[in-house]
């Protein structure tokens, strides 16, 4: 039996079949232990741009292969990668069958975000983390931002995703995100507030999430000043496939009897269903989700709908047209803050808000040869972010239209050139910031140079021109440099350096509410763009089959950070450029399996030190003072124990108390210590899960005067047919 683990069965055989003037590679990718076909395995022809992804039967076809000898690399999350040499002949199909061995540790992942083209995660120059769909399901995550909490250097402050402390927290979410949210490489930040809607699509439709920590502006332009979260959605299957997940849960009583605010049973349920198939050359995937909850607190109930569709048409000439559309609607009560600490689950605010979002993208990919490919994209984004105090009615949906043309050329087997131009147009209207139209155009290029088997170099440059029509023009040149050094088998040093920038959102610059309103905002048209200088260096280490570790040090400097400076004695403020700040830190991640793959451990630790670099009278910040809402320590530890078809898992998340906060500095603050427990059971194509979230019923405030989620119990069942 153990031999099966040690050696994979690799069968390669070729057959001559009628084809065109070029050849094809076709094959099947299976699990070496069970023989089951693997859906979504990545097949790449090295030193070319050719590749494919397997369908639900584990099959793939790579067309337009010039005759020759090739090295094919097959990778899949949770399995060891395999390589095979194969000869392609004119007008023939070379068949390949690869059986992948399961890997306790996901060593050999292929990512698409760090260099904006496929590359091996182990050799990436950037710090990139990957969350697979299996992990999202296993941890019973319901939102994209929730799914990121197991990554070193990433933490949530309310609905703000912090990558290496780059973001903070803004009241009512009025400030823009410093983390760029992409869906299938397409930016989807709101056009007016520059915010990320982390609940814009159901997580069941996510294939994987790639998080780029560090300089990203060179690749993705304004927005990714501290990082990028790229959500890659699932592709249509070639045969009919139906999947579902049904979850029901109840909230426990709060740990403090005084906080109990109702005698009703508080519950939630969630239903996800999707269907996928390919009709001739057209692959379709449709998904619908419904999530409803009473909430665990007063005015905390919500109802959410999600509709997602993806259509992919493969043309005979090796080109592909795909359309992706997602729509979400979230109608909920708005729990702004508690009444007081004796009534932590009650609020005097009774506002209800709706958050609506639609994002669509049309992408055309054309492979001209094994050395040259192009991609053209059009995308549309319309979102209304709900605001309390009846403010939402004064906002028209913020519209964003963007397009991109990109080329990828391999002039030499060791050089990969990526170049293109981005265009973006935003149209926004609100009685608070008026009517504005902004446009941005950005040419960019990047070189990925494989100097030798052990050295790889990334270098890139991007020039952004951002125009608020009739108002201002901003330009920015963003360089980036990175390298990876594979000095020993299993040991890789990497470093990256880059500059990022973010233009102030329309809302940050122009929002103005009249005196006497609930939230008083004063405009500041003179806001400067934020700028960042980001540097990191780290070591990825693989120790045998069952242990991997990564340690990364980072040093980031931010200039002109835009924060909401609070008004005295009134809710609201004015967006201002803050003094320069520096955030440095250390991240460590470890993944280990042992005792016949029954025991597992994942851990992520982060130490972070943030500091203002000068006094600033306007904001009241002093030199040396820590930035608000930046925890010094975060830790995530997840042990697991498998016995037969069952797995028992625990997640423990720790976050030290914020040293400084903006709005209620006198409130008692405690560290976050959240323990989640899960029991999973697989039964054929079905899997069941019993989970306890916040098992210790620990009370903390993720943001001021908002209590963390009360202990709750979930049962869920999911299946794929």
Contact 68, 62 (CB under 8 A): no
Q: Helices in 104-261 by DSSP H: which ranges?
A: 133-138, 144-147, 217-220
Which stretch in 7-15, 392-400, 463-471, 659-667 sits in contact with other proteins by CB under 8 A?
A: 659-667
Question: Which of 356, 304, 306, 302 has the alpha carbon at shortest distance from 334?
Answer: 302
Q: In this structure, what token pair is assigned to residue 108?
A: 């050999």
Contact 263, 295 (CB under 8 A): no
Contact call for residue 581 and other proteins (CB under 8 A)? no
Decide whether 687 or 701 has the Cβ nearer to other proteins.
701
Among 242, 665, 686, 715, binds other proteins (CB under 8 A): 665
CA distance 594 to 590: 13
Three-state secondary-structure class, residue 115: coil
Q: In this structure, what token pair is assigned to residue 297?
A: 């607190």
CB atoms inside a 10 Å sphere around CB 568: 5
CA distance 398 to 288: 24
Three-state secondary-structure class, residue 2: helix
Contact call for residue 569 and other proteins (CB under 8 A)? yes
Decide whether 126 or 701 has the Cβ nearer to other proteins.
701
Among 107, 220, 251, 259, binds other proteins (CB under 8 A): 259
Contact call for residue 643 and other proteins (CB under 8 A)? yes
Contact call for residue 209 and other proteins (CB under 8 A)? no
Decide whether 580 or 671 has the Cβ nearer to other proteins.
671
Contact call for residue 544 and other proteins (CB under 8 A)? no
Among 264, 280, 393, 568, binds other proteins (CB under 8 A): 568
Contact call for residue 204 and other proteins (CB under 8 A)? no
**CA distances for 574 relative to 200, 527, 530, angstroms:** 28, 10, 16
Contact call for residue 518 and other proteins (CB under 8 A)? no
Decide whether 95 or 339 has the Cβ nearer to other proteins.
339
Q: How far is the CB of 472 from other proteins (least distance, A)?
A: 23
Which stretch in 17-25, 130-138, 268-276, 666-674 sits in contact with other proteins by CB under 8 A?
A: 666-674
Contact call for residue 515 and other proteins (CB under 8 A)? no
Contact call for residue 686 and other proteins (CB under 8 A)? no
Q: How far is the CB of 334 from other proteins (least distance, A)?
A: 22
Q: What are phi and psi of 631, to 5 degrees?
A: -75, 145
Question: Which of 94, 124, 98, 106 has the alpha carbon at shortest distance from 43?
Answer: 98
Contact call for residue 700 and other proteins (CB under 8 A)? yes
CB atoms inside a 10 Å sphere around CB 1: 5
Among 4, 242, 667, 683, binds other proteins (CB under 8 A): 667
Question: Which of 589, 543, 689 has the alpha carbon at shortest distance from 138?
Answer: 689
CA 560 to chain centre: 26
Three-state secondary-structure class, residue 497: strand
Q: How far is the CB of 221 from other proteins (least distance, A)?
A: 33
Q: In this structure, what token pair is assigned to residue 414?
A: 């060791």
Contact call for residue 456 and other proteins (CB under 8 A)? no
Which stretch in 315-323, 421-429, 527-535, 694-702 sits in contact with other proteins by CB under 8 A?
A: 694-702
Q: How far is the CB of 575 from other proteins (least distance, A)?
A: 15
Q: Which DSSP state fits 470?
A: T
Contact call for residue 670 and other proteins (CB under 8 A)? yes
Residues from 126 through 145 that contact other proteins (CB under 8 A): none
Decide whether 267 or 663 has the Cβ nearer to other proteins.
663
* β partners of residue 145: none
Three-state secondary-structure class, residue 397: coil
Contact 216, 257 (CB under 8 A): no
Q: How far is the CB of 568 from other proteins (least distance, A)?
A: 5
Contact call for residue 641 and other proteins (CB under 8 A)? yes
Contact call for residue 4 and other proteins (CB under 8 A)? no
Contact call for residue 620 and other proteins (CB under 8 A)? yes
How many binding residues for other proteins (CB under 8 A)? Answer: 45
Q: Which residue has the tokens 């960019």?
A: 444
Contact call for residue 339 and other proteins (CB under 8 A)? no
Q: Which DSSP state fits 510?
A: H
Residues that bind other proteins (CB under 8 A): 255-256, 258-259, 341-342, 344, 566, 568-569, 598-599, 615-620, 622, 625, 639, 641, 643-644, 648, 650, 660-662, 664-668, 670, 673, 675, 677, 696-701, 707
């Amino acid at each position: 039996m153990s031999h099966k683990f040690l050696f994979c069965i690799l069968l390669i055989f070729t057959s001559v079949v009628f084809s065109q003037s070029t050849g094809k590679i076709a094959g099947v990718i299976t699990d070496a232990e069970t023989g089951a076909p693997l859906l979504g395995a990545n097949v790449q022809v090295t030193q070319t741009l050719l590749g494919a992804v397997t369908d639900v039967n584990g099959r793939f076809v790579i067309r337009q292969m010039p005759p020759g000898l090739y090295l094919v690399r097959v990778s899949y999350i949770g399995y060891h990668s395999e390589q095979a040499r194969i000869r392609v002949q004119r007008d023939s199909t070379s068949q390949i069958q690869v059986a992948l061995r399961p890997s306790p540790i996901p060593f050999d992942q292929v990512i698409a975000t760090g260099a904006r083209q496929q590359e091996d995660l182990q050799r990436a120059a950037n710090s990139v983390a990957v969350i697979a769909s299996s992990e999202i399901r296993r941890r019973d995550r319901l939102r994209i931002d929730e799914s990121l909490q197991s990554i070193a250097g990433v933490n949530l402050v309310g609905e703000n995703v912090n990558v290496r402390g780059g973001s903070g927290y803004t009241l009512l979410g009025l400030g823009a995100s410093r983390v760029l949210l992409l869906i299938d490489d397409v930016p989807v930040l709101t056009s007016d507030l520059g915010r990320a809607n982390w609940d814009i699509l159901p997580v069941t439709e996510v294939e994987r999430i790639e998080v780029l920590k560090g300089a990203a502006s060179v690749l993705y332009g304004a927005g990714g000043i501290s990082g990028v979260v790229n959500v890659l959605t699932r592709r249509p299957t070639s045969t009919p496939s139906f999947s579902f997940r049904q979850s029901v849960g109840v909230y426990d009583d709060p740990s403090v009897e005084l906080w109990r605010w109702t005698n009703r049973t508080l519950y939630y349920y969630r239903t996800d269903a999707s269907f996928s198939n390919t009709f001739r050359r057209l692959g379709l995937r449709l998904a619908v989700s419904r999530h409803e909850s009473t909430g665990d607190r007063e005015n905390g109930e919500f109802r959410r709908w999600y509709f997602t569709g993806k259509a992919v048409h493969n043309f005979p000439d090796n080109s592909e047209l795909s359309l992706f559309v997602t729509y979400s609607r979230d109608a909920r009560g708005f729990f702004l803050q508690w009444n007081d600490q004796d009534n932590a689950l009650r609020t005097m605010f009774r506002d209800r808000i709706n958050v609506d979002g639609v994002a669509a993208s049309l992408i055309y990919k054309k492979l001209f040869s094994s050395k040259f490919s192009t991609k053209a994209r059009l995308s549309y984004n319309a979102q209304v972010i709900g605001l309390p105090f009846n403010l939402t009615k004064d906002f028209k949906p913020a519209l964003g239209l963007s397009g991109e043309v990109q080329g990828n050329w391999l002039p030499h087997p060791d050089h990969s050139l990526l170049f293109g131009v981005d265009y973006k147009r935003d149209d926004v209207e609100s009685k608070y910031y008026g009517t504005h139209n902004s446009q941005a155009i950005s040419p960019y290029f990047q070189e990925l140079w494989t100097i030798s088997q052990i050295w790889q170099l990334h270098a890139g440059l991007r020039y952004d021109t951002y125009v608020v029509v009739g108002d201002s023009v901003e330009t920015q040149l963003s360089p980036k440099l990175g390298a990876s050094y594979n000095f020993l088998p299993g040991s890789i040093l990497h470093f990256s350096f880059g500059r990022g920038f973010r233009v102030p959102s329309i809302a940050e610059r122009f929002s103005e509410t009249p005196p006497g309103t609930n939230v008083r905002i004063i405009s500041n048209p003179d806001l400067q763009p934020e700028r960042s200088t980001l540097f990191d260096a780290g070591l990825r280490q693989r120790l045998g089959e069952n242990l991997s570790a990564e340690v990364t040090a980072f040093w980031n400097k931010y200039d002109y950070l835009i924060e909401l400076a609070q008004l005295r004695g009134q809710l609201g403020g004015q967006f201002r450029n803050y003094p320069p700040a520096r955030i440095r830190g250390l991240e460590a991640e470890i993944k280990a399996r042992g005792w016949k793959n029954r025991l597992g451990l994942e851990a992520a630790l982060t130490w972070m030190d943030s500091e203002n670099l000068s006094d600033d009278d306007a904001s009241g910040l002093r030199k040396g003072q820590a930035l608000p809402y930046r925890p010094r320590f975060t830790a995530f530890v997840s042990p697991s124990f498998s016995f037969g078809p069952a797995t028992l898992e625990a997640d423990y998340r720790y976050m030290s108390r914020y040293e400084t906060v903006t709005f209620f500095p006198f409130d008692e603050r405690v560290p976050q210590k959240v323990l989640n427990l899960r029991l999973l059971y697989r039964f054929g194509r079905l899997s069941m899960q019993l989970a306890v979230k916040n098992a210790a019923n620990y009370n903390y405030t993720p943001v001021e005067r908002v209590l963390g989620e009360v202990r709750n119990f979930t049962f869920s069942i999911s299946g794929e047919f």
